[in-house]
A = this chain, B = another copy of it.
């Protein structure tokens, strides 16, 4: 299995540029639930045996003393770290060289660009990424793969390059919902393998918010087709209007993120100013200039949003929204817009990109499913049933 992945990388990665480092002699375990599984790891995570650059020139050639927690977990389970995948600079917006396997003139999305593209191109069956705004679900949508952002703190962040610790969430990529759920199950030992769903008693909410109108026509069409397919399969469809608390929480995301980024990456701004992109310096300076009282207000807005979100899930089992405003934009300089993802990162709720629909040009259009905090198995089970309904 690992040899096949290495061959695929040798064949495809010259074009896709998903990996920034491929292990010369990857350790292959014969034991453990992930034995034989080749895994791509976003280069935002420390690895003791491979360079770790965080997508930044400031860290060229950096070799950490130890592994990130999620890397060591994957190794303990028998998985093989095949290499490090491209991340935007510090997992913010400045892109790496990765292209979209569906159309190499388009962005794969970010910040987990390489992890999404490596899976989409069939180079690895599984990859690890992170999301602070929309960095798992958006590239998964653009690349047409399943991207799973678990409930906050289900997967450990220790040893990642933190940007905003109260948002930074570790997540996973695989080809389909079944695959990503199996990967999560084997990695964590948690019961995350999808279960059969009693479809007629399952309530699917279509989430109406101001942003929905800003999705392009093809994405709005995909969401409508998703709703129709779910109805046809027997799910109970419900229209959910965004609570005011959630709109305010979404608006607070940038304040919270930037203040924490100023703290977390302020040391790098002080030491490596010359090597950071203007985009990154701008957000760090914005964060450093934000008064603590404004940050505290943002935290309170997030907390009220979590309360409102909890109440939403008394009415529905799973919410559906677009995963992104549309398909992957043309060009490699912009990794796309996380406007449909950042609220759920802030809420800490599990989300997953369901790949299926495509636009006229054949580029993927993902549907984002959102579950109740801590109900990851339920979300993945319903998402798999929906994935099957879309294809029916």
Contacts and interface: CB of A to CB of B under 8 A. Distances in A.
A270 interface: yes
Contact of A266 (B69, B260, B264): B69
Interface in A43-90: 48, 58-59, 62, 65-69, 71-73, 75-76
A374 interface: yes
A165 interface: yes
Contacts of A268: 66
Interface in A257-277: 260, 263-264, 266-268, 270-272
A230 to B, nearest CB: 29
Contact of A260 (B75, B156, B293): B156
Contacts of A73: 263, 266
B296 A189 contact: no
A162 interface: yes
Interface string A146-167: 0000000100111100100110
28 contacts: A48-B271, A59-B65, A66-B267, A66-B268, A66-B272, A67-B270, A69-B263, A69-B266, A71-B267, A72-B267, A72-B270, A73-B266, A76-B266, A76-B288, A156-B165, A156-B260, A156-B263, A156-B264, A157-B165, A158-B162, A158-B165, A158-B264, A159-B264, A189-B291, A189-B292, A190-B292, A190-B293, A296-B374
A16 to B, nearest CB: 29
A245 to B, nearest CB: 18
A188 interface: yes
Copies in the complex: 2
A69 B153 CA distance: 21
Interface in A93-135: none
Interface in A282-329: 288, 291-293, 296
Interface in A233-269: 260, 263-264, 266-268
Contacts of A65: 58-59, 62
Contacts of A293: 190
A67 B267 contact: yes
A345 B153 CA distance: 18
Interface residues of A, number: 40
A72 B273 CA distance: 14
A75 B266 CA distance: 11
Contacts of A267: 48, 66-69, 71-72, 159
A4 to B, nearest CB: 26
A11 to B, nearest CB: 32
A156 B166 CA distance: 10
Q: Which of A76, A158, A266 has the most CB of B within 10 A?
A: A158
**Lowest 6 A-B CB distances belong to which pairs?**
A72-B267, A67-B267, A156-B263, A158-B264, A66-B267, A158-B162
A54 to B, nearest CB: 10
A271 B66 contact: yes
A81 to B, nearest CB: 12
Contact of A166 (B69, B153, B292): B153
A166 B162 CA distance: 15
Interface string A221-236: 0000000000000000
